[in-house]
Chains A and B, each alone.
Chain A
């Protein structure tokens, strides 16, 4: 039986983990004793390396970057064919083709993509905390199209990934696409998680009653996640970060991001921000959740002012 892949994709620190926790709860059902540390890895980081090496006849530690990328779609296709039940992948890559010309994530294996975005002011501060960087350096990093997490002199634990700049990452996934892409803003999920996750659950292939959505939203409340991390830690927290579940709200950039840095972010990402309803004042204009069948350009609507 062939499984389908559901990609939970985003630029880092944009709500990816929250979405995956909800999906995990929906997948395992209400009888599962919810724990942030028992969430499936999403085949991210070291688990993607292990997956690769379990299927590829040669180890990725002996391969060059483009060779790893060329092989990855084949590995994913093999895993989908060998699995039953949908597999949820955590994705921070931008959407692109490999050097061989294949889509990195084979479209015929992908059920849908849930693509999350968050106001880049909040992303800057959240990522800075996560990576142990200054906001200044993080803003520079967000503008860099060439971000590849792959080192040359040593072997990183994670498989290489090409994140790109915030703009290139977002625009790659909401542009012309071979996938069914559901674009969702983190801020809209916070404002109405029941409605938001009800839509996303359908996109992700779940057929569950509203009561289960409500239950999943309840156990993944930010304060509950924060408490569990404080008590037991969170295995996805990197050593550079003091706390993974740190703020969990909109406008967490206030008081932390200088006017100069906000100006820089606007300069680097203003076009996409406008398209997504993200204002220069850090606000979020109303926007409709969108679901795009393959081939159709992502349509984002903002109300006329």
Chain B
């Protein structure tokens, strides 16, 4: 099976199933047309319709995605839609919705495996600098498991993070700071100065050991989150928690959050955006010793 919906010339491979990254048994395919509405569906958020037939995600002038059964994503490309953008949102939000449909947890995290084999999920709001911090840690010997959204399941009660990415999405400025030449890199979509940077990757699922929540703050600092507060901190970082009741049986991701809180060390790392990623990485290393 191919891993892209588009041939090298940028032509869409219609109806050809492509595996959904990191979700065994789930596939996506491009279709000529999706229904305008999900039968029996209702709008739950701008661009998001939920019904018995699935979830319809619409990104204007890019694509519409029908996610159903936790196993399939159908994609209708908008006329003139940027193919890179089509795949970006397929691998991001559409995949996150599929993960919810399976009763699993899409964590907004970039997850790495450090040189000692410790699985660390870096969480925080989009723009906090998760991928940039991951890049520094990978430069120091870590491997990438997932970037942006990490699929988390339970295995024997242990929270398991699944591999889904072999590159980090980094802004041009971050690439410059990290001495990465972007001239031959693929942009994540047209007209955005953000690039896919290939990095050493981990290819098997691993139990999460540490959750690191990046926070803004004037000084870089790492704090251990007390056990009774861990669930709240982790729950802040699940995909679209405001919409969770529409996207899944809320008790499923809640159960996974509880297991993460039980099994994992949870840290907050302050100083995001105000301090260089190298400094934050040093702070983190010290805390994990």
Tell me the bound Cα distance from A46 to B216 in angstroms: 10
Nearest B residue to A73 via CB reads B46
A61 contacts the other chain (CB 8 A): yes
Q: A60, A62, A74, A152: which contacts B46 (Cβ < 8 A)? A: A74
A78 touches B127 (CB 8 A): no
What is the bound-complex CA distance between A74 and B85, given in angstroms? 21
Q: Decide if A154 touches B126 in the complex (CB within 8 Å).
A: no
Asked whether any CB of chain A lies closer than 8 Å to the CB of B191, the reply is yes
Contact, CB under 8 Å: A57 / B171: no
A152 touches which one: B48, B193, B240 (CB < 8 A)?
Answer: B193
**Chain A min CB distance to B17 (Å):** 23
Q: Which residues of chain A are within 8 angstroms of B24 by Cβ–Cβ distance? A: none
Give chain B residues whose Cβ lies under 8 Å from the Cβ of A283.
none
B111 CB, nearest partner CB in chain A, Å = 17
Which of A64-72, A188-196, A272-280 forms contacts with chain B?
A64-72
Q: Is A157 an interface residue (CB 8 A)?
A: yes
| Cα(A61)–Cα(B92), bound, Å | 12
**Residue of B92, B188, B241 touching A58 (CB-CB under 8 A):** B92
| Interface flag for B1 (CB, 8 Å) | no
* Interface pair B125/A53, CB less than 8 Å apart: yes
Q: Which partner residue on chain B sits nearest A156 by CB separation?
A: B127
Q: Measured between alpha carbons, how far is A78 from B242 in the docked complex, in Å?
A: 11
Contacting pair A154 B240 (CB below 8 A): no
Q: How far is the CB of B124 from chain A (nearest CB, A)?
A: 11
Select the residue from A50, A56, A82 with max chain B CB neighbours within 10 A. Answer: A56
Contact of A153 among B92, B93, B173, B243 (CB under 8 A): B173
Contact of B172 among A54, A153, A239 (CB under 8 A): A153
Q: Are A155 and B171 in contact (CB under 8 A)?
A: yes
Contact, CB under 8 Å: B127 / A153 = no
- A50-B125, A67-B60, A153-B193 are known contacts. Are A59 and B92 too (CB-CB below 8 A)? yes
A50-B125, A57-B45, A60-B126 given; A157·B57 CB < 8 A: no
Q: Is the CB of A49 within 8 A of B127?
A: yes
A56 pairs with B192, CB closer than 8 A: no
Task: Give the most central of B47, B176, B216: most A CB within 10 Å.
Answer: B47
Establish whether residues B188 and A78, one from each chain, have CB atoms under 8 Å apart when the complex forms.
Answer: no
Using Cβ atoms and an 8 Å threshold, which residues of chain B touch A59?
A: 92-93, 126
Instruction: Indicate whether A157 sits within 8 Å of B273 (C-beta atoms), given known contacts A49-B127, A62-B188, A64-B192.
Output: yes
Query: Contacts A46-B216, A154-B171, A155-B171 given: A54-B126 contact, CB under 8 Å?
Result: no
Contact (Cβ within 8 A) A57 B48:
yes
Contact of A54 among B47, B61, B242 (CB under 8 A): B242
One digit per residue, 1 when the CB lies within 8 angstroms of any chain A CB and 0 when it does not, for chain B 36-59 equals 000000000111100000000101
A221-264 CB contact bits vs B (8 Å, 1 = yes)? 00000000000000000010000000000000000000000000
Contact with B along A140-157 (1 / 0, CB 8 A): 000000000001111101
Asked if B89 and A58 sit within 8 Å, CB to CB, the answer is yes
Residue ID in chain B nearest A50 by CB atoms: B125
* Contact, CB under 8 Å: B171 / A153: yes
B60 surroundings in chain A (CB, below 8 A): 67, 70
Instruction: Please report the total number of B residues contacting A with Cβ < 8 Å.
Output: 35
Total CB contacts across the A-B interface at under 8 A = 82
> Contacts A55-B242, A71-B46 hold; do A61 and B172 have CB atoms under 8 A apart?
no
- Is A265 interfacial (CB-CB < 8 Å)? no
Question: Is A75 part of the contact surface with B, judged by Cβ < 8 Å?
Answer: yes
B174 proximal to A (CB < 8 A)? yes
Question: Is B88 an interface position by the 8 A CB rule?
Answer: yes
A239 to B189, CA, bound (A): 32
0 or 1 for each of A71-95: is its CB under 8 Å from B? (1 = yes): 1001101100010000000000000
Contacting B at CB under 8 A, from A19-71, are 46, 49-50, 53-62, 64, 67, 70-71
In the bound complex, CA of A17 to CA of B172 (Å): 34
What's the Cα separation between A46 and B89 when bound, in Å? 22
Residues of A within 8 A of B89 (CB): 58, 62
Partner of B93, one of A49, A58, A64, A157: A58
Q: Which residues of B contact A62 (CB under 8 A)?
A: 85, 88-89, 92, 188-189, 192, 194
Q: Once the chains are docked, how many angstroms separate the CA of A157 from the CA of B57?
A: 26
Please tell me which one of the listed residues B47, B48, B172, B243 contacts residue A154 in the complex, with CB atoms under 8 A apart.
B172
Q: Smallest CB-CB separation from B55: which chain A residue?
A: A57
Chain A residues near B274 (CB-CB < 8 A)? 239
A239 to chain B minimum Cβ distance, whole angstroms, is 8
Complex CA–CA separation, A61 to B149 (angstroms):
14
22 pairs, CB–CB < 8 Å, chain A vs chain B? A46-B127, A46-B216, A49-B125, A49-B127, A54-B240, A54-B242, A55-B242, A55-B243, A56-B47, A57-B46, A57-B47, A57-B57, A57-B59, A57-B93, A59-B93, A61-B127, A62-B192, A71-B47, A152-B172, A153-B193, A154-B173, A157-B273
Which A residues form the contact surface with B (CB < 8 A)? 46, 49-50, 53-62, 64, 67, 70-71, 74-75, 77-78, 82, 151-155, 157, 239
Smallest CB-CB A-B distances: 4 pairs: A74-B46, A154-B173, A153-B172, A59-B126
